[in-house]
Structure 1
């Protein structure tokens, strides 16, 4: 598996991964409101890395470098549980300065467990009822 910086030619696949992953795992959100264009809106001015194997994109992370913040980390549903997320997380940590932060939706129990197992700690839960998320930190 290779980790590399994304380029414009990767965006169609990244849009699909973002859409399919959210529709499959975000059971608390309105699936009909999610669109391919969300990827572009949600990654403005972000540094995007991706995981690839045999010319197939397996997942990506988008980083807001000025704040050492992981904004998105998504793995294609077909490759979940195969180490892709861990490799993207490690590459993200290597790219930025500690402490790093991210936000994880409180309802996303699988992601919360993933980050906890990778050494991230919960700092504070924020947001409105039904839209709560944890700010998490890695030092």
Structure 2
């Protein structure tokens, strides 16, 4: 059973580790040496964060920039993918943000793009810069 709850200060070490490991695994094309444990703090500053937990273990999180109805980060531990944590985190975001919800997803992150489309998100516009990404919307 997966529970979704707001992050507490005690969650930070686990979230920092999950964020680092997930990015190193997912973004295999980037240099893992440029990714650091403290990136989580910088990348989620001023964001509302919810965690997915299973049997007292944090298995994922979502970070929301509420003023823009924007989902900034959504990461699930690879050993728990496909078990519904990502879906539940998106459902929590829908309760917290006003529609339309927005996010950006790297173009070469095919599994994430497929996940968001399955969840009802639409690709709006592809931005082709160094790391091309899709602006996506949920109406």
- What TM-score does the superposition give when structure 1 sets the normalisation length? 0.96
Alignment-derived partner of residue 54 in structure 1: 55
Alignment-derived partner of residue 73 in structure 1: 74
Q: Aligned-residue CA RMSD in angstroms?
A: 0.8
- Matched residues in 2 for 1:79 and 1:20: separation? 14
Deviation at 1:112, TM superposition (A): 0.2
1:29-71 CA-partner distances (Å, limit 9, x unpaired): 1111111011001000000001112110010000000000000
5+ residue gaps, structure 1: none
Deviation at 1:75, TM superposition (A): 0.3
Question: Which 4+ runs in 1 deviate beyond 3 A?
Answer: none
| Aligned partner of residue 120 in structure 2, secondary structure | coil
5+ residue gaps, structure 2: none
- Matched residues in 2 for 1:76 and 1:12: separation? 14
Alignment-derived partner of residue 110 in structure 1: 111
Alignment-derived partner of residue 2 in structure 1: 3
Alignment-derived partner of residue 31 in structure 1: 32
Equivalences, count? 138
